[in-house]
A and B are shown apart, each in its own frame.
Chain A
Amino acid sequence: MQSFTMNESFPLNAWYAVAWDVELKNELLPRTICNKALVLYRKKDGTPVALEDACWHRLLPLSKGSLREDTVVCGYHGLEYNSDGRCSYMPSQETINPSACVRSYPVIQKYRFIWVWMGNPALADETKIPDMHWNDDPDWAGDGQMILVHCNYRLVVDNLMDLTHETFVHSETIGDRNVAEAPFDVHYDENTATVTRWMKNIQPPPFWKGQLNKVFDHDGTVDRWQIIKFEAPCTVNIDVGVAKANTGAPEGNRSQGVNGYVLNTITPSTNQTCLYFWAFSRNYNLKDQSNTTELKNGVAHIFSQDEDILEAQQKAINENPDREFYNLNIDAGAMWARRITDNMVAKEKKD
């Protein structure tokens, strides 16, 4: 087995987030997922629908047409499709060609996201949706966004699997020397990879000092943690927080601290673009909605710095087609994530 690949590939037998729940209305929304153009909408009863975005007849994107109740009407010759993708009207003839349909994709709303299964529909099992429950759990509060990033989705996963970059990319908010210098552990199983980093008895960076002071009046040192969990092929949930130093957080007692989850799922759109869905959820100060807005804006600012780096990296990759990455110790989490995804793609080709 190769230890590392520059692969851009993605499995099709997986649930991919395609929209925030609030984005989907009873109107046509085009989105490209895994190099396939989809048209999404919500039926009048609220059920989400995902269809291939190309008319059976002459391939015009159905998203150029219109929605009449739950029926999609092609904007060219008026062919109509129901929410299963079956053609229900053809102009100027009394029958409907029996093969007339567009592909419909399994679609589920969960954890405030709309998820679509791009592969074999017989294998679409709801329990395989990655756990992002912090996004709609009443014990947590938060919000997030979707950004279109002009890079392969794996570069975003790489970025999240190694937070050493915080020290250099996000130095004024969450990054400091402690992150770059603290040791970390990497573990993996068939479907996940986890990077755990504890920074004990340190001065909190400005961001975390501010969050801790919303709950505790504490001016001293903290134990800080980052537990990054990758779930194949493209979800990375990061358990982050700080607790007053020496109050038992590393051993499991986080009562003297504040905890957040950075939730990320990065859907391949094309080989060179991805839809990056993220949210930040916290378990403290739950009723303070300005805290939600402040965190969302703060994370959005931090991620815009990543976006800038990632797009420049993709451009450099394209300009150096004969080059591969060198890897460092810090890349272990990213490399496990890539290998697990590679295995998933390879397995899918076999069965």
Chain B
Amino acid sequence: MRYRNSWEDAVVSKMKKVADNVMQIQITPVGSTEVFTVGSHLDISVLINDLPEIRSYSLVGRYSPNSPYTIAVKRLPASRGGSKYMWGLKEGSKLRISQPTNHFELSFNTPDYLLIAGGIGITPILGMAEELMAQNDKNVRMLYLGRSEKEMPYINLSKKLLGQNLIVHFSDVDGFFDTSKIIDLSNTETQIYLCGPIGLMNAIRKTWENSPFANQNLRYETFGASGLFAPQAFTVKIPRFNKELKVKENQTMLKALEEAQIAVMYDCKKGECGLCQVDILEVSGDVDHRDFFFSEAEKGENKKMCACVSRIANGDVVIDTAYRGT
């Protein structure tokens, strides 16, 4: 369910590095913190090139009365600008934040849980682990993947919380993660809660789709930030309007189209709803499909892409929009 945001003023009460390139930011609203369930996120108004945009950050841990909201932000060298802004905050900085909302709600109606976090994807998962470990009738395992321990926030907390039920995978040492392992760890009653980089999410989704288990038992959340390639600048040609645009490395195609006053319908801006899809007429290089709207098969055809999140790597693209006027 989607909720209308109500915005309020807040102050950064504490900044603390919790892993290489990960900053924990505690935010105290001017009013009181609202009760939230695990899996919730805050929308935060950030300034990118001095223009306000909205970014969503998962709340870390469980709600506790009189405690500030806690988020953790990874510094991405080639981000769309959100992480740069958040890292530039200081204790005492003022922010505009929404109420917590939850699009990644934890169900309590099964006995068996497999939590999967990849890197900064730990942020919504940690509270779920805390919540489930506090219930005494749940079988909970957590799989935490990352490059190495020093790049994985809250790893010690996770170890303490889950003990033997934590499985850690260091890709620096252990190499590529074989997703078939999640099938071995699951049964028909298992619900998976997954958050991580798109490569991991895609691989797990694909493995799960080919497993005997129900599709809706795999639950995941994405804020549309990561892709298979590092973001690069690329050129978009739109013959219908006789235009050629540069999409900068820290800009979305949707933004570039809007700035050129080429109308594209959109809604979620995180690659879920599919409203911003444009037709690909010609492409060189790779289409970095960062959305969760198109199926793997559709992505393979490269006939359409979601302008809000998807990009071109090592090449350029020629597109058409939905406009058919003269």
Binding site for B on A (CB under 8 A): 52, 54, 56, 82, 84, 86-88, 93-99, 101-104, 106, 120-122, 124, 349-351
Docked-complex contact B297 and A99, CB < 8 angstroms: no
Any A CB within 8 A of the CB of B216: yes
Which chain A residues lie closer than 8 Å to B292 at the CB level?
95, 97-98
Shortest distance from the beta carbon of B26 to any chain A beta carbon, whole Å: 19
Any A CB within 8 A of the CB of B286: no
Any A CB within 8 A of the CB of B131: yes
Docked-complex contact A98 and B131, CB < 8 angstroms: no
Docked-complex contact A94 and B298, CB < 8 angstroms: yes
Q: Which residue of A lies closest to B222 (CB)?
A: A98
Which chain A residues lie closer than 8 Å to B131 at the CB level?
122
Which chain A residues lie closer than 8 Å to B106 at the CB level?
121-122
CA distance in complex: A52, B102 (Å)? 14
Kindly name the residue among A86, A93, A94, A99 whose own CB sees the greatest number of chain B CB atoms within 10 A: A99
Docked-complex contact B216 and A122, CB < 8 angstroms: no
Docked-complex contact B294 and A103, CB < 8 angstroms: no
One digit per residue, 1 when the CB lies within 8 angstroms of any chain A CB and 0 when it does not, for chain B 130-146 equals: 01001100000000000
Q: Which residue of A lies closest to B191 (CB)?
A: A84
Q: Which residue of A lies closest to B2 (CB)?
A: A56
Binding site for A on B (CB under 8 A): 1-2, 35, 37-38, 65, 103-109, 131, 134-135, 215-216, 219-222, 272-274, 292-295, 297-298
Q: Which residue of B lies closest to A49 (CB)?
A: B109
Shortest distance from the beta carbon of A309 to any chain B beta carbon, whole Å: 37
Docked-complex contact B109 and A104, CB < 8 angstroms: yes
Q: Which residue of A lies closest to B132 (CB)?
A: A122
Docked-complex contact B135 and A95, CB < 8 angstroms: no
Docked-complex contact B1 and A56, CB < 8 angstroms: yes
Which chain A residues lie closer than 8 Å to B297 at the CB level?
94
CA distance in complex: A351, B67 (Å)? 11
Kindly name the residue among B109, B221, B294, B297 whose own CB sees the greatest number of chain A CB atoms within 10 A: B109
Shortest distance from the beta carbon of A7 to any chain B beta carbon, whole Å: 19
Docked-complex contact A99 and B294, CB < 8 angstroms: no
Docked-complex contact B294 and A88, CB < 8 angstroms: no
Docked-complex contact B215 and A88, CB < 8 angstroms: yes
CA distance in complex: A104, B131 (Å)? 17
Docked-complex contact B293 and A122, CB < 8 angstroms: no
Which chain A residues lie closer than 8 Å to B2 at the CB level?
56
Which chain A residues lie closer than 8 Å to B104 at the CB level?
99
8 pairs from A and B in contact (CB 8 Å cutoff): A56-B1, A86-B219, A93-B293, A94-B295, A97-B273, A101-B105, A106-B109, A350-B65
> Which one of B108, B221, B274, B294 lies within 8 Å of A98 (CB-CB)?
B221
Which chain B residues lie closer than 8 Å to A106 at the CB level?
108-109
Which chain A residues lie closer than 8 Å to B109 at the CB level?
84, 104, 106
Docked-complex contact B293 and A95, CB < 8 angstroms: yes
> Would you list the 6 A-B pairs with minimal beta carbon distance, nearest first?
A99-B103, A94-B295, A86-B216, A97-B272, A121-B108, A351-B65
